[in-house]
């Protein structure tokens, strides 16, 4: 897509330039950003790649997601064996769930 068309797309979505539009939607997923700007998500991916922005921020690593989970006591996944084993949480609820899970495996119940 030629640059002036990119800017046209960005202006229709309320931004001055396509670079500004990419920066302003960097926190969104590619699908969401595409909807917000009225373009397809591969287009968003291309634009982000060209600017080198939002790629890591838009898709946090498994490690970052696990850390966010552990930092949020309200997350529904606390109190699950998954929370303990896969997400590395050692809160009381997750530890208990993991202990129970191990026990039920041992006893076959
Ligand atoms: Zn937990």
Could you list which residues have their CB under 5 Å from ion ligand 1? 78, 83, 89, 91, 94
Q: 9 with 34, same domain?
A: yes
Q: Give the structural domain span for 80.
A: 62-107
Structurally, the chain folds into a number of domains equal to 2
Give dist(CA 51, CA 16) in Å, integer: 16
Q: Where are the alpha helices (DSSP H) in the chain?
A: 3-12, 18-24, 30-37, 41-51, 55-58, 62-71, 81-85, 92-107
Give dist(CA 60, CA 10) in Å, integer: 25
Measure 85 CA to ligand 1 centroid, in angstroms. Answer: 10
Q: 25 with 70, same domain?
A: no
Predicted confidence pLDDT, tens digits, the chain (109 residues): 566 699 999 999 999 999 999 999 988 889 999 999 999 999 999 999 888 875 555 677 888 899 999 999 999 999 999 999 999 999 999 999 999 999 998 887 5
16 Cα distance to chain centroid: 26
Residue 55, pLDDT score: 54
């Amino acid at each position: 897509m030629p640059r002036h068309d990119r800017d046209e797309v960005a202006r229709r979505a309320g931004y001055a330039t396509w670079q500004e539009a990419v920066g302003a939607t960097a926190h969104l997923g590619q699908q969401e950003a595409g909807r917000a700007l009225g373009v397809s998500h591969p287009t968003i991916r291309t634009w982000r790649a060209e600017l080198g922005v939002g790629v890591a921020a838009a898709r946090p690593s498994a490690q970052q997601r696990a850390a966010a989970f552990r930092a949020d006591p309200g997350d529904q996944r606390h109190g699950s064996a998954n929370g303990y084993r896969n997400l590395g949480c050692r809160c009381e609820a997750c530890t208990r769930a993991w202990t129970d899970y191990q026990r039920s495996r041992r006893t076959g119940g």
